[in-house]
Each structure stands twice: as structure tokens, then as C-alpha cells.
Structure 1
Amino acid sequence: MLNLTHLASFVMLEQTGSFTETALRLGIGQSTVTQHIQRLEKALGRQLVFRDTHQVRLTAEGEALLGHARGMLDLNGKVAALFGENRLRGRLRLGVSEDVVASRLTAILADFIRLYPLVDLEMTVALSAVLNQMQDAGDLDLVLAKRHIGETHGRLLYREPLVWLAQDPDLLLSRGNALPLIAFPPPSITRRIAQEALDAARMPWRIVCTCGSLSGLTAAARAGMGFLVQPRSMAPSGLREVSADRLPPLADVEFVLVQRRGADAALVDALSNLIVAQIAPHHA
């Protein structure tokens, strides 16, 4: 019989592509993760993971096992929730900033629905300011979003520098015209910070692309339309960071969790703990 703990390490390893990252997320030692994979391979008589100094990836046998492993873990979570002491149930409405969705959200959501299968999770993706307005109106229970430095609402997760990004910064700067900006629509925090930085430096600018989707903004930036401002850790691939001496410095932003007053504390805490465990360690 396959060990569910070993399978959990295997599934997390596939998500992260790293033994170190898997150990961090599961709260165990890296050597323990290695032992779990080795024992799983021994039990099945197949090599499941290919690893060298540069990468970790599943073998064909590992890919074949992956779907079954996820199914077994999901079923185990549902049974544990149904018959165990922890029977969290209800509805939890989560709001997430657009740019956070492109980073570590997938693993967090997968863990939550596996651990709490009786909870109906509803997610809204929007700009941080819009999410805050929705929460004030009572439409969201928990918000993961950005705030300006100096604001005090929410539980601080980490502080992040904003950077200028472009497909070819030298070409755009050589044109000498008003700086072309690619930005979320108002009331975007990153848009406001970029505009204030340029205004303070007396640099003319113009908006060449507005889109509520980060994927749309990224496509425009990769096409060479203009400059995009994003948190450094969330910089899309294919774009180059502009050196600090080429454009005005940008203010940092902070990422926070904001709980609605009156929301179900047990549900909010369950998801908040997963978010803190998987996001905060990367910015400690």
C-alpha cells in the first residue's frame, strides 16, 4: 500500500521542482523529502523522479503516477474532513490582486481544497483598490492585495520593490518622446506610483496600453509597446529590468492580508495560515 505522506511529498515536488522548496513548504527536512521519494520508488519498483545538478523533473512513470497520487490525496482529505474532528464547512470569499495570481497562488488553492473539501471557496481577481472596496461593501471575507507604504490596514506579509520593465529599454529611451507606459486602469497602485515618480522627475509620459489583466499588459510589454511597472519578484519573463539610473526610483509596495470584520474566523484563519506558510518565507 502506498504511503500518503510519501505521495504528498511527491506531488509537492512536482509543483515546486525543488527538493529544498518542497521541504520548506511541507515543514520537513530536505533529507526527509528525499527518503519519501526513494521509498515511493522502491514500493513501486520504478524511478519516478529524474534529478541532476540543474533540474528536478518527473520520469514517464512519475507522470503516470501524478494524477492517481492527487486523486488519492484528495479522497483522503475528503474522508478526513467528513469523519475527523476538523469539519470546517461553509463559504469563503477570497479576493486576490491581479499580479499575485501569476505567482504562488496555485499551490495554495490546491492545498486548501484538499485540506478543506467541505468549504466552498469563491475567488475574485481584481485590482487591490477594487478588492478593498468590495470588502468594505461586505462582498469579500479575505483579501490578498497590495497597499502603499505607510498604510496600516491588513496583516503585513512582506515588502517588495517595484521596478521598471521593458522588452528593449534602450530602444524605448532612445526615442526621446514622452515615456510610453503600460498600466492597469485606475485605481491601480502601481500605475499611480509610476505616474507620481515621473511627475516628480518632470519626465513627460503617456499611457499606450491599459488592461485589467496582467497577461494583457505582459503581452503589450513583450511586443515593445512601452514600460511596465511590477513588483520585482513578479516580473514576467521576457522583460528586462531598467537600471536604477535610467528612470526615476519607484516606491516600494507591501502585500497584506485583510480580513473582513464579522467573517468566519475559522475559515479565514485556515486559508490565511496556508498563505503565510507558502508566501512569507520567500521574502523573509
Structure 2
Amino acid sequence: MLNPLWLRTFATVTNCRSFTEAGKRLGLNQSSVSEHIRRLEESVGRRLFVRDTHSLAMTADGEALLVHANVILQAMNRAESQFRKPRLKGRVRLGTSDDIALGALPTVLAAFRHAHPDVELDITIGMTSRLYELLDAGSIDLLVGKRRLGERRGTPLLRSRLEWIARPGTVVDLNQPLPLVLVAEPSVTRAVVLNALAEKGFGWEVICTSSSHAGCIAAARGGLGLTAKSQYVSARGLSPPVNSASLPALPDVEFIALAAKRLSHPAGTLLELLQGSDLSGEWMSE
């Protein structure tokens, strides 16, 4: 068995090139250092050093063992460091739009839960505008959603293009008002879509209104009309209309994280994880 104490002594001797100096660094006398090396050599069945009165050199087996010793000692240091830290406790009240919840958010939450199992997560899924209200009222700690038109607050996470989707095989009659399935007001996506249509001179008719993007996707899957989603969001059973190239191109939307003025340590930790996750960057479908 490779005793970690012997491995640490061995690694220190190789760095110092001296049993005496290694003993000083480790707070051991020279006889203890020699004993650790002797027992390590017996354990691996190989000679690790060649010594005389003036020099100390590693054997080939010693050099090979040093590679493994460093890996083992580094892993031990990481483990000890993790468990020396106090476990994070508390509660994080996270508000998220449902399109983010349909994307990479579950992976982020799983990673946070794995790293901090003692932190309680309280998740509110709702319209971005409603989440802004909850944050300003102090009812949630973090908001993850689309940046509101004209809003400057928040840390940008990603930009993603909006795209038209409908039941597969749909051909849009461009001589008629576009049949739309949209999220209810106030909605960033709804405003962006209607602005784009107005600028290009397209007429429309809102066939169905839903309180969530998931509801819009379900209605579009049922063939009620066109809807728009970020390319970041999965929408199985839907695809761009056959003549989507004739429809007005939709702009990018920006997803952000917005934190309360006074952020708890658990909430700040989750914010850091969000900023370093797949939610951060520029996302375009292939």
C-alpha cells in the first residue's frame, strides 16, 4: 500500500535532494525520513534512490513513482481543501423565464446542488417582466431571463437569434395576415416579434396567446399558427416553415442575470456558476 505519509516524504526528498533538508521541511528527524523511504521501497519492491556520502540520485523506478506520487498528493490536497471549507448553507430564491428553464438551466442547477447540497433552491418560473417586479420587491434573489427593452441592468449571459417555427411542413400564406401564437403581454419576445413585422410591413393576427413559451410551443405543435423561439431553446416536433426565408428575419435577444442589491453568499455563488456555464456566451443553432 502506498502510504500518503511516505509519499509526501518521498516527494519532499526528491525536491530537496537531501534527507536532512527534507526532514527540516517536514518537521522530522533524519532517521524518520530514512524510515519512511525504506518502508516505501519495501512496499513497491523497488529501490528509489542511489545514495553515497556526497550525493543523492533517483533511480528510474524512483522517477516513475514520483509521477504517481505527485498525482496522488495533488488529489489529496484538493480533497482536503474542499472539506476544510465550511459547507455552504442557506436558501437561494431564483426567478427564471420558462425559455431559460427549457435550455441549459437544469444542468447548472444540478451542478450547484451537487457542490452545495445544504443550500435550498426556491425556483419561480414566470414572465421576465414579472420577475423584474419580484426582484425589485425583494421576493427573489436572482433573475435569469431576457433583457427588457431599454433596460441596462444585469450581467449579459448569452445572445441568441429568434426564429420562426411551426408544425413541420407548414407553408405560410404570405397573402394573408400571419397567424401568430405569442406569449401574453408584457413579453420581450412578443414585443420584438411584432416590432419586426411592423417594420417590414407584414400583417398579422394573434390566433393564440399563452402565459408561457411552453404553451406557445404546444399550440404551434397543434398547428394553430406560427410562433417564435430563441435558437437556444429546444422545441421538439416543430421546425421552421417551408418558406421561412420569405418571412422577416427576427433579431437577437439577450439573456441576462440580474441580482438583488444585497446578495447572500449562496446566491452569489450560484451567480458565479451561471456566468461560467453554458448559459454564458453567444448561442447559435447549427
TM-score of the two chains, using structure 2 as the length reference = 0.64
Is the CA contact (8 Å cut-off) linking 2:149 and 2:188 kept in structure 1?
A: no
Instruction: In structure 2, list runs of 5 or more residues that go unmatched.
Output: 1-80
Match of 2:263 in 1: 263
Compute the displacement of 1:225 (Å).
1.0
Match of 1:13 in 2: none
**Does 2:136 correspond to 1:126?**
no
The alignment status of 1:195 with 2:194, answered yes or no, reads: yes
In 2, distance between residues paired with 1:218 and 1:121?
A: 27
Unaligned 5+ residue runs, structure 1? 1-79
User: Taking structure 1 as reference, are residues 216 and 153 closer, same or farther at Cα in structure 2, changes over 3 Å only?
Assistant: same
Does 1:251 find its partner at 2:246? no
Could you tell me how far apart the structure 2 residues matched to 1:113 and 1:89 are? Answer: 11
Could you tell me which residue of structure 2 aligns to residue 85 of structure 1? Answer: 85
* Matched residue, 2:15: none
Q: Which moved more, 1:255-264 or 1:149-158?
A: 149-158
State how far apart, in whole Å, the 2-side matches of 1:283 and 1:249 are.
Answer: 18
Give 1:170 deviation, angstroms.
4.5
- Residues 47-85 of structure 1, C-alpha deviation per residue, up to 9 Å, x if partnerless? xxxxxxxxxxxxxxxxxxxxxxxxxxxxxxxxx99x642
Alignment CA distance shift 1:149-1:210 (3 Å)? closer
Per-residue Cα deviation, 1:114-166 (whole angstroms, up to 9, x for no partner): 22122221000011111111101111101111115764210111111111111
Aligned to 1:62: none
Partner of 1:186: 185
Deviation at 1:281, TM superposition (A): 5.8
Shift of 1:110: 1.7
**Structure 2 Cα separation of the partners of residues 272 and 220 of structure 1:** 33
Q: Could you tell me how far apart the structure 2 residues matched to 1:244 and 1:222 are? A: 16
Residues 122, 188 of structure 1: CA spacing in aligned structure 2 closer, same or farther, 3 A cutoff?
A: same
Q: Secondary structure in 2 aligned to 1:274?
A: helix
Letter matched to residue 210 of structure 2: C
Distance 1:209 1:169 in 2: 20
d(CA) in 2 for partners of 1:115 and 1:214? 30
The answer as to whether partners of 1:164 and 1:229 remain within 8 angstroms in 2 is: yes
CA 1:149–1:158: 2 relative to 1, 3 Å:
farther
**Cα distance in 1, alignment partners of residues 276 and 139 from structure 2:** 26
Q: Does 1:106 align with 2:106?
A: yes
Q: Secondary structure at the match of 2:123?
A: strand
CA contact (8 A) 1:129 1:187 kept: yes
Indicate conservation of the 8 Å contact 2:168/2:240, yes or no. Answer: no
Residues 94, 123 of structure 1: 8 Å contact kept: yes
State the AA in 1 paired with 2:178: L
Mapped partners of 1:142, 1:170: distance in 2: 39
Q: Aligned with 1:144: secondary structure?
A: strand
> Helix, strand or coil: the match of 2:277?
helix
Aligned-residue CA RMSD in angstroms?
A: 2.3
Q: Which amino acid aligns with 2:201?
A: R
Q: Distance in 1 between the 2:135 and 2:281 partners?
A: 27
Please report how far the alpha carbon of residue 174 of structure 1 lies from its aligned counterpart in structure 2 after TM superposition.
2.4
CA distance in 1, matches of 2:279, 2:262: 25
Larger Rg over CA atoms? 2
Tell me how many residue pairs correspond in the alignment.
202
SS at match of 2:276: helix
Match of 1:75 in 2: none
Q: Pairwise mapping of residues 132-211 of structure 1 onto structure 2 (< 5 A)?
A: 132-148=132-148, 151-168=151-168, 170-171=170-171, 173-174=172-173, 176-211=175-210
Which amino acid letter does the alignment assign opposite residue 132 of structure 1? Y
Distance across 2 between alignment mates of 1:156 and 1:282: 8
Identity %: 32
Distance (whole Å) between structure 1 residues aligned to residue 246 and residue 258 of structure 2: 36
Residue 86 of structure 1 aligns to a residue in which SS? Answer: coil
